[in-house]
Structure 1
Amino acid sequence: MPRSTQIRAKPVTAVTRRTVLKAGGTLLLSVLAPLPSHAAQILAVRVWPADDYTRVTLENDTNLKTNHFLVKDPDRLVVDIEGLELNPTLKELVAKIQSNDPYIKQVRVGQNRPNVVRLVFDLKEQVDPQVFTLAPVGEYKHRLIFDLYPVNAPDPIAALIRKGEWQDNPEQPAPIAAAMPEVQPAPEPIAPAKPATPELQLAKAESKDEKPLAITRMITIALDPGHGGEDPGAIGRSGSREKDVVLAIARRLKRKIEEHPNMRVMLTRDADYFVPLHVRVNKARKVQADLFVSIHADAFVETTARGSSVFVLSEKGASSTAARWLANKENAADLIGGVNIKTHDRQLASVLLDLSTTAQINDSLKLGKAVLAELGGINRLHKGAVEQAGFAVLKAPDIPSILVETAFISNPEEEAKLTDDAYQDQMAHAVLKGIRKYFAKNPPLAKNKMT
């Protein structure tokens, strides 16, 4: 009996040991073996074509790793995205490339290998691609950005020349009096005179208290419609987007300015795309702008906030808490719009933007007061005086610069105004009148071409 029991005990012990060893091995393998990775999900694809560059955005639920390279004959950009499976949203990218895109012919999308999606951009010309990621901000999740810049960047002055808006000699006298005439009271006509044209009536009204002007060169004005592209700006209750409203007003103002033979205009953006703040300033300097006017339609936490405002740069801090809040909000546009920090020379930009002078701010205040007075004729003013704060977009060291808040898009009544063609036209006309009155009292000095 004891022997029989002994014999049966051995296999039980052996089985137990094998079971424990197997269990331990399984546990060890489960710890060492990589867990199955969760494939990233593409949530949205967007394309922003412009003459400056084309941006392609892939919004996703996690940070993505990429490898990219260029291929010649024909020109192509190849991008491999790791940790990604092809999904219907990503396939939508193919249809989003339009025939009028300046730099992309088409894009092909495919599963190159397990967990790797390949994008092939067939290009219209050589590009200098910037591929980078953006951390979540605002309502955006993670974003993978492809910025396709042309190797031969467009020259803003060359663009104005093509449009017939730039003379070879910037000092060549121009008929400034035709744009801002000094109209003297005329004696009663002996014979019935022809009715005054609307333009002549406007000239009389605007020159009532102005002195004769002695300007012998063209005036260049940089208009800066705020936000654009990935950055919609403020959004009204009815869904109106600041970036659309201010571009419409800027286009109207551009047309009005160009009616005068001595004035020309450069838009920092003429379509729906993102322009970094320092690039807006640099664009104005490249065309030797005499003025810089940034156009906005902001929002506030209270929908009752209303009225138009004008801001200029401050060297010593904001003139009010609201002005500081607004400047901080506008300066965050680069984060929302998406700046490639790795290639952006922040130190150089900082040096440039710190060169703003007291003289520039004083001239900006004069321009701001002239424009604000005209805005008060068409809309209630949020503040009766020009305000100051540290707006990055106003820091051109040699250009009088103002930021115009046309109205509060967060106020339902003012949102309706901002989307009304007649009000947009009135707003553009008021800004133009302010600009003309500024130049009537502060004629621009002659200056040489900037190298």
Structure 2
Amino acid sequence: MPPPSHLRPEPLISSPVTRRTVLKAGGTLLLSVFAPMSAMAAQILAVRVWPADDYTRVTLENDSILKATHFIVKDPERLVVDIEGLELNPTLKGLVAKIQSNDPYIKQVRVGQNRPHVVRLVFDLKEEVRPQLFTLPPAGSYNHRLIFDLYPVQEPDLIAQMIEKGDWSSDPNKPLMTDTHTPPPALPLPDSGKPPLVVVIPGVPATPTLPAVRPDPRPEQRPEARPQPGQKVVRMITVALDPGHGGEDPGASGRRGSREKDVVLAIAKRLKAKLELLPNMRVMLTRDADFFVPLGMRVEKARKVQADLFVSIHADAFVQPTARGSSVFALSEKGASSSAARWLADKENQADLIGGVNVGNHDKQLASVLLDLSTTAQINDSMKLGAAVLREIGGINRLHKGSVEQAGFAVLKAPDIPSILIETAFISNPEEEAKLTDNGYQDQMANAIVTGIKNYFAKNPPLAKSRMT
């Protein structure tokens, strides 16, 4: 006997109409699932702009990988960037206010929702540029980054820039280094109006003052020349100073918020000013403002100006705040001289990951320079320079180690330039952080390095180059 009708179960799908109703309900459910997914567009977390003479960098930090296309519009010059999978938000709108009036390449930027899920940036340019767009994976404290680098079409002449920015070329009374196959006279260290300190080299006669000669801004085109008997070779000494980190790469940080990139730039600028007061000395900074320079490009810049020395300036950090002291490092051909030196070199060599390098645009010749192990002569000279500088630094701060250490620092791999890396102090140590941000200590550190360089040249005169008088 069948059960009463009120107890019979209802069929799941009793008719085609009911089936369509269920399918429609399922479609509605799918739409409700995908609707929030489409609304979850990539989020811009921060925008940063790093203007510099070398190039201007624009960084968009975001929570996922972004895809962007770009093109140039002429008359007037504009760079147009379309970013997919993005909705306009207040952080991205803030890019407009980030453009500074003194930016060498960007006049202004306009930001708008070009179409659904596509944001368009239009950069009004001050001159023609070579744009490079690339993405970076998360590194250090950063999330995903979309990078726009705007380079000038005409690559700057670094030696001409030194002549333009330096005051050393305007003083006709400055004596020039001369080479008559004997060591040059010692270089005096200026001391605020006091008579210059001169290191006397036994057996080296005083050299008469020669008229200043403006260096040729195109050293690669200078004809090779050999000095005739009795001729003196005019010799400008070029020092490349390398303030570590910069721009996207802040370097180490202190408890009081001090950043390595700021401290070492301040010391480098003081050092540059003091070196340029010495006779026949000119200085190139690998960066003179807050922007990032890849490790290999720092080496390349020094080689382009035919530097006689390369000095990279840093402020160390360690996990323990008790670590303290100054150190000097040279390149090692066979491995680090200590586990601490190896650890530091590995950390410093990661700067490109944090600062952001367009790997696809690396110059093959530059890569070969970085991979080329420096000659034994270069390392020997670097050790001599390091010892001379370390001796002077030890007079103003405790030394972390009493001898020059060695490790595989990428920034020291110029095969033809004596190169050292100076850790001025531990910025992670509260006492030394206070020193590093003190004008007096920065001045003492710069003076110590100048004296070390001067003493190095007194015993190791630079070889003659091809400019004669």
Whether TM exceeds 0.5 here: the answer is yes
Q: TM-score range by the shorter chain?
A: 0.7 to 0.9
The 5 A counterparts of 1:57-72 are 57-72=59-74
C-alpha spacing 1:377/1:210, structure 2 compared with 1 (3 Å): farther
- Counterpart residue number, 1:101: 103
Distance 1:384 1:94, change over 3 A: same
Instruction: Give the drift of 1:274.
Output: 0.2
TM-score by length of 2: 0.84
RMSD: 2.9
| Structure 1 runs not aligned, ≥5 long | 183-195
SS in structure 2 of the partner of residue 429 of structure 1:
helix
Tell me which of 102, 115, 128 is aligned to 1:126.
128
Distance in structure 1 (CA, Å) of the matches to 2:288 and 2:86: 35
**Structure 1 residues 44 and 220: CA distance shift in structure 2, 3 A:** same
Partners in 1 of 2:52 and 2:191 — Cα distance? Answer: 39
Give the deviation of 1:41 after TM superposition: 1.1
- Where does the alignment leave 5 or more consecutive residues of structure 2 unmatched? 179-183, 208-232
The one of 356, 367, 374 aligned to 1:350:
367
Q: 1:369 to 1:225 in 2, by over 3 A?
A: same
Structure 1 contact 211–441 (Cα < 8 Å) conserved: no
Alignment length, in residue pairs? 425
**1:228 and 2:246 matched:** yes
TM-aligned CA distance change 1:17 to 1:295, over 3 Å: same
Q: 1:241 to 1:441 in 2, by over 3 A?
A: same
Q: Is the 8 A contact 1:178 1:260 kept in 2?
A: no
Cα distance per residue 1:393-450 (max 9 Å; x no partner): 000010000000000000000000000000000000000000000000000001248x
Find 1:180's aligned residue among 187, 191, 195. 187
Give the match's secondary structure for 2:335.
Answer: coil
Which of 210-219 and 301-310 deviates more?
210-219
Letter in 1 for 2:14: V
**Shift in Å at residue 245 of structure 1?**
0.3
Residues 198 and 124 (structure 1), Cα distance of their counterparts in 2 relative to 1, 3 Å cut: closer
Shift of 1:337: 0.3
Q: Is the 8 A contact 1:173 1:217 kept in 2?
A: no
Matched, 1:364 2:382: yes
Question: Partner of 1:189 in structure 2?
Answer: none
> Corresponding residue for 2:307?
289
- Work out whether residues 81 and 117 of structure 1, in 8 Å CA contact, stay in contact via their aligned partners in 2: yes
Distance 2:79 2:437 in 1: 40
Q: What does residue range 3-402 of structure 1 map to in structure 2 within 5 Å?
A: 15-16=14-15, 18-20=17-19, 22-24=21-23, 27=26, 36-37=37-38, 38-163=40-165, 174=176, 180=187, 201-204=195-198, 206-207=199-200, 216-345=234-363, 347-355=364-372, 356-402=374-420
* Separation (CA, whole Å) in 1 of partners of 2:289 and 2:188: 34
TM-score by length of 1: 0.87
Q: 2:127 aligns to what SS in structure 1?
A: coil
Cα distance in 2 for partners of 1:98, 1:384 equals 46
How far, CA to CA, are the matches of 2:148 and 2:166 in structure 1? Answer: 33
The answer (yes or no) to whether the contact 1:55–1:147 under 8 Å persists in 2 is: yes
Q: Which residue of 2 is the match for residue 417 of structure 1?
A: 435
Question: Aligned equivalents of 1:242 and 1:434: distance in 2?
Answer: 23
Work out the CA distance in 1 between the residues paired with 2:403 and 2:20. Answer: 83
- SS of equivalent residue, structure 1 residue 342: helix
Q: Deviations over 1:355-375 (max 9, x none)?
A: 311110010000000000000
| Partner deviation per Cα, 1:41-98 (whole Å, 9 max, x = no partner) | 1111111000000001111111111111000000000001111111111111111111
Could you tell me whether the CA contact under 8 Å between 2:201 and 2:458 is conserved in 1?
no
Whole-angstrom distance in 2 between the partners of 1:94 and 1:197: 47
Contact 2:78 2:125 in 1 (8 A): yes
User: What is the CA–CA distance in structure 2 between the aligned matches of 1:148 and 1:243, rounded to whole Å?
Assistant: 22
Partner of residue 423, structure 2: 405
- Identity between Structure 1 and Structure 2 (%): 71
Read off the aligned partner of 1:203 and give its amino acid letter: L
SS at match of 1:233: coil
Single out whichever of 324-333 and 58-67 deviates more from structure 2: 58-67
Contact 1:213–1:440 (CA<8 Å) still a contact in 2?
A: no
Q: Is the 8 A contact 1:179 1:261 kept in 2?
A: no
Q: Structure 1 stretch 210-219 or stretch 254-263: which is displaced more?
A: 210-219
Higher deviation after alignment, 220-229 or 136-145: 136-145
Structure-2 separation of matches of 1:269 and 1:65: 30
On the 8 A contact 1:103/1:124 being kept in 2, the answer is yes
CA contact (8 A) 1:50 1:102 kept: yes
